Structure formats: C-alpha cells, structure tokens
Amino acid sequence: MNIDTSFNVYTDTPKGRDPDSHSPTLRNYHKFLWSKKLPNGLLFKLDETNPMRLHHKSDLGEFVLSSDSIAHTYSNIKSTNDIIKKINSDELTKFVSLCSTIGGYIIFPSERINNQMTINGARGVNKKIRDRFDLTLECIRRYYIKEDSPLKGTFERYKQFFNLFDSFQGYVDFFLLQDLVSNDYSSIKYFIPFESFENYPLPNDIAEYQQYKYNLSKFVLARSQRMKNLNK
C-alpha cells in the first residue's frame, strides 16, 4: 500500500463525522501499518469485520480496535480559546492539517469492559490528561513498570491488549513512537514541561502553546517519516 503521510483524513470523512470511525483511508492505513509481527514474533493481523472498527482474532485473543487522535490542537475548546485567538490563522490551519494526517493517529481497544470507559474515553475526560498523548504515554510507561498514574485502572482493564507488546519498549517500537521517548525508553519527551500530574495539563499562555505546537508538529513529522520507511 502507498501511504500518503500528508493526506488529511477529514478529506474523505463525511461532513460532521469523526475520521476515527468514518474515514476509509485512515482505517486502511491503520490496517496496513499495524498488521505486522508483535515483539514475540507472532503476526497481529487486522481485518474489517466491523466497517467502523478494526478486528483481530487468533490464539492471542480477540480485539476490536478503533482509531484515536494523538495530536490534539485544542483549537476548538473553551479552555484555550483566549490563546488560540492570538495565533495567526494560516499558522493554525497548517497545524490542524498536519495533526489530521496518519502520523497523528493510533489505535486502542474500542469495546468497554464492565461497562466502564475505554482508553480513548478515559484519557479524554481525565482532567490530569486532557487527551495529551505525551501524558498518556507517560501513563503507559508507568503501567509497564507497575507504577501508579491517572490511567492505571483503565490500563489494567485492558491488560490483554498491553500484554501483546511485552514491555514499554515493545509498545513504543510497534506503534512507531520512538521520537517521543528517550534513547533508553526510560522517559518521555514532553510537548511542554511536565512536573507532575497535579499540574494543569494544557498550555497556560501563548508562549507555552507555541512550544506545544512546535514539539507536537516535530513528533508527527518524525513519526510520519518512520511510516514512510516502514512502507518502503
């Protein structure tokens, strides 16, 4: 498959719908990218049994997965409205477009367990995360080394999924997230400074938003290049 890492997934999404469930291109790209060998050498092959989800069933277990954005611009929420007003409109449009490419998306299990929130839902509503993927990845890092985090309970419900990757390094390498971690996988390269989960997670002013935008853009572009290399 020829993956166009510059393709805006809203292009083939019906107006008013979410690309995560309604972009055929995004779903096909996910299917191609993540249908590959796991760290244990077994093939994790995805199919489209459900037209809005991806599916895997084997001796490893059965998984229903959906796309999720990991590159949020916070350009349409009340909390950052005053900051966004100060950003050049062309600059913001370019940022939003970049974050709407395959480099800004990942897959997570989409079925609720015990009628509780999915990973996607939990990281969005948790006030200590607010959908920031660098903070989500810190929670995933802590999960693998059995440390506490705001998403620990959620991840424990989905341990069968995380067990597929054996370790934090296995998870990072599988989903091409190497540019968001240190060389030894021991720490996260945060988009904006992080001290603890008690701090407000979103940019506090325009300078911090610009830093967030720069680092997130750098990550999406680097991950897109890894996808191109994988495609070759």
pLDDT value of residue 90: 97
pLDDT band at 50 (very low <50, low <70, confident <90, very high): confident
Report, as an integer, the average pLDDT of 114-135.
97
Mean pLDDT of the chain: 96
pLDDT at residue 230, rounded to an integer: 84
Q: Give strand pairing partners of 122.
A: none
Mean per-residue pLDDT, 75-83: 94
Residue 219 burial (CB < 10 Å; 0-12/13-18/19+)? buried
Nearest to 191 by CA among 214, 169, 164: 214
d(CA 84, CA 78) in angstroms, rounded, equals: 10
pLDDT digits (tens, 9 = 90+) for 140-152: 999 999 999 999 9
Choose between 195 and 49: higher pLDDT.
195
At 203, give phi and psi (nearest 5°). Answer: -55, 135
What pTM, to 2 d.p., does this model score? 0.96
